[in-house]
Amino acid sequence: MNRRNLVLSALAAGFVQVAAAGPQRQEKTEWSRFFTEADARGSIVVLDARGKSETTHVYNVARAERRYSPASTFKIPHSLFALDAGLLRDEFQVIPWDGVKRSQPAWNEDQNLRSAMRNSTVWVYERFAKELGDARETAYMRKIGYGNAVATGDKPFWVDGDLAISSFEQIDFLQRLYRNQLPFQIEHQRLVKDVMINEAGPDWILRAKTGWTGKIGWWVGWVEWPSGPVFFALNMDTPNRLGDLAKRQSITRSVLRSINALPVAP
């Protein structure tokens, strides 16, 4: 074999190795039961990165590939934008309430980054959006490749406007945040991950954010284990509106427990 063929052979072998090492995708039709039992229609993507290999489990691939409004899951990147732009120094900076009474009692007081994320305080992020402006918002989204990266349409653009993202794209974004690979200061990425904590056990941490447009519900995040993270992105219809919201977490928790990615509740 001549030198050219040796090189081509080596390149081909390298390609095969890279392709083989990539994440595998498995369609989990059996997860339909979790949606059926909850009387819900939706999809879920779970990327299990525990151990040396990665496997992506998917229920309802077609829906998982479709883009939807991110709703309040956009508060994750939006917090990074606000920190990077200097609108926020840290999680302790007080964000003064404007005195306008809103439907959620927890919104009707001063906020900080931690409470705004925990309470999903819409007016805080509307204020960030006004201070950033559509051009900077768009530039930030393009910089991180977030969905279709547009700030057009009705306001807030991440709920009622044209911004849209798929479940697979949510997973990609979350992976980069987990690994501090987004184009922001590492301390800002670590801070946002800290305020995303929902609950934790002796050897695991659940970081996640809900989202709701009124018609579409989300729950996205990951569970950290000593052996690695398990990322998830659930997207579902909410025809019963508030009556459907608890299903976002209940379905996701059932799915995660079915692969031992979340402890069984005591």
**Annotated catalytic sites, by residue?**
72
Q: Which residue has the tokens 């946002």?
A: 192
Nearest C-alpha neighbor of 45 from the set 31, 59, 34: 59
Task: Using the structure block, give the residue that is written with the tokens 């007080």.
Answer: 94
CA–CA separation, 258 and 264 (whole Å): 9
What is the identity of the amino acid at 34? F
Q: Report how far residue 76's alpha carbon sits from residue 141's, in angstroms, rounded to the nearest whole number.
A: 12
> Tokens 């083989």 belong to which residue?
20
- Listed in sequence order, the residues at least 6 apart from 178 whose beta carbon sits closer than 8 Å to its beta carbon are 193, 222, 229, 231
d(CA 214, CA 184): 31
| Interstrand relation of 42-48 and 55-59 (parallel, antiparallel or unpaired) | antiparallel
- Which residues share a beta bridge with 197? 207
Helices (H), the chain: 3-21, 32-37, 61-65, 75-84, 113-118, 122-144, 167-178, 186-195, 245-258
